[in-house]
Every structure is written in C-alpha cells, then in structure tokens.
Amino acid sequence: MGTVRIIGIDPGLRRTGWGVIESDGARLRYIASGLVVSEPDAPLAYRLLQLHDGLSEALVRHKPREAAIEETFVNRDGRATLKLGHARGIALLAPAACGLIVSEYAPNVVKKTVVGSGHADKRQIRVMLGHLLPRARPESNDEADALAIALCHAHHRRSRALLAATATP
C-alpha cells in the first residue's frame, strides 16, 4: 500500500481546522496541523476567499495525496447550516483543485473510528490523539477534529485495501 499523506479538514466559516498525517499500513505519523480563520466582519465572499487561500497554502506546503472532510450536520438554525455549507464547499474545492482524492465522513463515524464510540466528546478525541499521534499538539478543537478526520480516513482506506486484497475474483 505504501506511505500516503492525508489532510483532514474540519470546515467552519469562522475557523477551519486542518491536520496532515502520513499513513504507512498501521504506522501513523503526525506532520502538521493548523487553523484558517476568516475575519468575522468581512463580507461572506471574502471570508470564503480567506478560507480558500489558507487551505490552499496548507495543501501546497504539505503536499498531501488524499483529503478527508467531515460531513455537515444539519442543525435547527438554517442560516448557520447554510454558512457552514459554504465553508464546506471551500473545504471540498481546495483539495479537489489540487487533484486530490477527497473522501467524506460523518462526525459519528470519525468519533467511532478514533475513540470507539460515536458519541465521544472533544476531550476523549484529544486523549486518543495523544496515543495515536504523540507528536501532535493541536492548539484548538478544530485542529484536533481535523487530525481525527485524517486518522479516520487512514483507517478506512486501509480497511478497504485489505478487503480488496483478500477478495476472490
């Protein structure tokens, strides 16, 4: 299967977290993580541009081959959901424009994969990140979530590869 560099993206209009890991079979290695912040008083189009530019910079600097993004959950506030959808569109567009494979995962799948429970809280995610990626020191929950999304993708792509390798023709 070989080593693959993966970027996980936790989209948000105010703050979009990103985290890059390398996966080589069962071995995982932390590369980098960060946060892209948009100016809250700027018009929506410029906030989206800030997110695009920040993610594009991370993609160029760290050169991942695959991307994983958290799926949007719908909440009761339609306007907030729509704004999150705009940010998520940028989070999908930036890696796709670089030619990356882009996968999406529901929040409960990410939690279940990383922690073992689909209802894990932020603290539990950080504890597991400490075990799985001991060099990672995410400064925000958005960065931690992005790293968890990347870990989820590493696990699921490995599972798909193992299934494909053991399938009989």
Contact criterion met (CB below 8 Å) for 69 and 103: yes
12 vs 86: CA distance, rounded Å: 9
pTM to 2 decimal places: 0.91
Determine the 3-state secondary structure of 20 from DSSP: strand
Task: Mention every residue, 6+ apart, whose C-beta is less than 8 A from residue 74.
Answer: 81
Instruction: Catalogue the active-site residues.
Output: 10, 70, 142
132 vs 55: CA distance, rounded Å: 24
pLDDT at 49 over 90: yes
Which residues in the chain belong to E strands, given as ranges?
3-10, 15-24, 27-37, 66-70, 101-105
| Nearest residue to 24 via CA among 4, 51, 50 | 4
- Number of neighbouring beta carbons within 10 Å of residue 86: 16
Grade residue 52 by pLDDT with cuts at 50, 70 and 90.
Answer: very high
| Nearest residue to 153 via CA among 126, 114, 118 | 114
Per-residue pLDDT of 133-150, as tens digits, reads: 999 999 999 999 999 999
* Distances from the Cα of 39 to the Cα of 45, 46, 47, 49, angstroms: 11, 8, 6, 11
Per-residue pLDDT of 96-141, as tens digits, reads: 999 999 999 999 999 999 998 878 888 899 999 999 999 999 999 9
